């Protein structure tokens, strides 16, 4: 198992569109394991392969309190979404420290494949419904801040670019000591 580096907004690679998985092999199993380890370490409740610079349709989610309900969603499809919407304060491991309200369908029916290539369906509501839709957006190259106003998005971009610059500087100082 290994921790994978997470891309930070506004990295342009977060806007790549992921391709479907065609072969369910040891490589995909390892990717899912490494993504799960990376998500739990953060800690987070969901992670898309796009966020670790792998542009294939793979998501890991665990919204359980005990962090013992890991599920991989490979090649996920929304089969149905409710008319009813809910607003949830979302965050993202690629947008650290930022949380804001996003409106999405309150309930979704999703079909996906597990690591063994077996199809399954989930009827999701509440936090799980939010998380599945948020992570599926990543596979389309979409980050939640794109639902916010351009003003908010630009403030977030500026803040994160500044933080990134500071991080790079302190790493540089550490390296030269």
Query: Which residues carry out catalysis?
Result: 135
End-to-end Cα, the chain, rounded Å: 31
Between 32 and 93, name the residue whose CB sits nearer to ligand QAP: 93
Q: How far apart are CA 131 and CA 105, in angstroms?
A: 12
Closest-approach residue to Co ion (CB): 92
**Interface contacts to ligand QAP, rule CB under 6 A:** 42, 44-46, 88, 90-93, 96-98, 127, 130-131, 134
Q: For 137-171, b where at least 16 C-beta lie within 10 A, e where not — what string?
A: bbbebbbbbebbeeeebeebeeebeeeeeeeeeee
Question: Is residue 133 helix, strand or coil?
Answer: helix
Question: In whole angstroms, how close is the CB of 122 to ligand QAP at the nearest point?
Answer: 15
Question: In whole angstroms, how close is the CB of 25 to ligand QAP at the nearest point?
Answer: 27
Between 24 and 157, name the residue whose CB sits nearer to ligand QAP: 157
**Biggest alpha carbon distance in the chain?**
58
Question: In whole angstroms, how close is the CB of 96 to ligand QAP at the nearest point?
Answer: 4
Figure out which of the listed residues 92, 106, 136, 160 binds Co ion, where binding follows CB under 5 A: 92
State phi, psi for 162 to the nearest 5 degrees.
Answer: -65, -45
Between 130 and 145, name the residue whose CB sits nearer to ligand QAP: 130
Between 117 and 137, name the residue whose CB sits nearer to Co ion: 137
- Count CB neighbours of 122 within 10 A: 17
Residues that bind Co ion (CB under 5 A): 92
């Amino acid at each position: 198992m290994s921790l994978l580096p997470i891309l930070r907004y506004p990295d342009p690679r977060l806007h790549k569109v992921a391709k479907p998985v065609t072969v369910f092999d040891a490589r995909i199993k390892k990717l899912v394991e490494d993504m799960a380890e990376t998500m739990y370490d953060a800690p987070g409740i969901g992670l898309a392969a796009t966020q670790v610079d792998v542009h294939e349709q793979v998501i890991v989610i665990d919204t359980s309190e005990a962090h013992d309900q890991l599920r991989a969603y490979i090649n996920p499809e929304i089969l149905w979404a409710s008319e009813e919407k809910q607003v949830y304060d979302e965050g993202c491991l690629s947008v650290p420290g930022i949380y804001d309200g996003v409106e999405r369908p309150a309930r979704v029916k999703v079909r996906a494949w597990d690591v063994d290539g077996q199809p399954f369906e989930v009827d999701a509501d509440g936090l799980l419904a939010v998380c599945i839709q948020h992570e599926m957006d990543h596979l389309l190259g979409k980050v939640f801040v794109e639902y916010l106003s351009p003003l908010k998005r630009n403030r977030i971009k500026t803040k994160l670019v500044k933080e990134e610059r500071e991080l790079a500087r302190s790493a540089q100082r550490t390296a030269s000591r």
